[in-house]
Amino acid sequence: MVRKAAILLAIVLLAFTAACSSSSSVVPTAGSGGTAAGVSSTTSCPTHNTKSFAKTRFVADAALAGGAFKRWIYDPPKAGKFKHGAHGRVLALVKAAAAGAFVINRLDAAKSNAEANPTLCKLIVAPLSRLKSSITGLVSKSHSGNISDSDVTSTNGLLEGFRGAATQGGAGFTDNTNANI
């Protein structure tokens, strides 16, 4: 009975993950010229903040994404949870897939906030896009159960590069080593 419930929960979470990780695009309307909230194109940045508290929102979204990545995607393979035959492997992969969808969502929100700030826009958007594509790849690998330690380590390197760019832009975030979760 418990195994059936766990399998059903895994299927529901995987469906949710697939729905959340599908990319949505904004199609410019006629006369808008493809602009979004003060940004003249995808490559140019605004000259002033186009959202209230853009850096604060960015830090909150980036920190949530980084924390979820570390807790449910980075730490389990270090503990051997993703290896074939490991106790709790399926649950760890389901958690990684769900966390991946959450991380992608928060990275999208962080990118939106970074694009609204002139300093962050210049420094953050490119590393953020690389990190998001790497995590999207990890989510697809978690669906098939083939996440390797090297995949996670390379994505962690992208996260560290992203963190460095955020610090350079004045919106740095750090790990809370005292957190009890």
Contact 12, 4 (CB under 8 A): no
DSSP annotation of 33 reads T
**How many domains are there within the chain?**
1
Question: Is the per-residue pLDDT at 172 higher than 50?
Answer: yes
Mean pLDDT of 42-50: 79
Task: Name which residue leads in pLDDT, 7 or 12.
Answer: 7
Mean pLDDT of 94-117: 92
Q: With respect to residue 87, please indicate whether it lies within any of the assigned structural domains.
A: yes
Instruction: Give pLDDT, residue 43.
Output: 54
Angle, alpha carbons 105-106-109 (nearest 5°): 95
Q: With respect to residue 170, please indicate whether it lies within any of the assigned structural domains.
A: yes
Question: What is the C-alpha to C-alpha distance for residues 100 and 142, in angstroms, rounded to an integer?
Answer: 9
Note the pLDDT tens digit of each residue in 130-162: 889 998 988 888 877 788 888 888 888 888 888
Q: Which residue has tokens 């098939």?
A: 144
State phi, psi for 36 to the nearest 5 degrees.
-140, 115
Q: With respect to residue 27, please indicate whether it lies within any of the assigned structural domains.
A: no
Instruction: Give pLDDT, residue 2.
Output: 56
Contact 107, 73 (CB under 8 A): no
Task: For residue 167, give its domain range.
Answer: 54-176
pTM, rounded to two decimals: 0.68
State phi, psi for 146 to the nearest 5 degrees.
-115, 40
Q: How confident is the model at residue 170 (pLDDT cuts 50, 70, 90)?
A: confident
Total Cβ atoms within 10 A of residue 31: 5
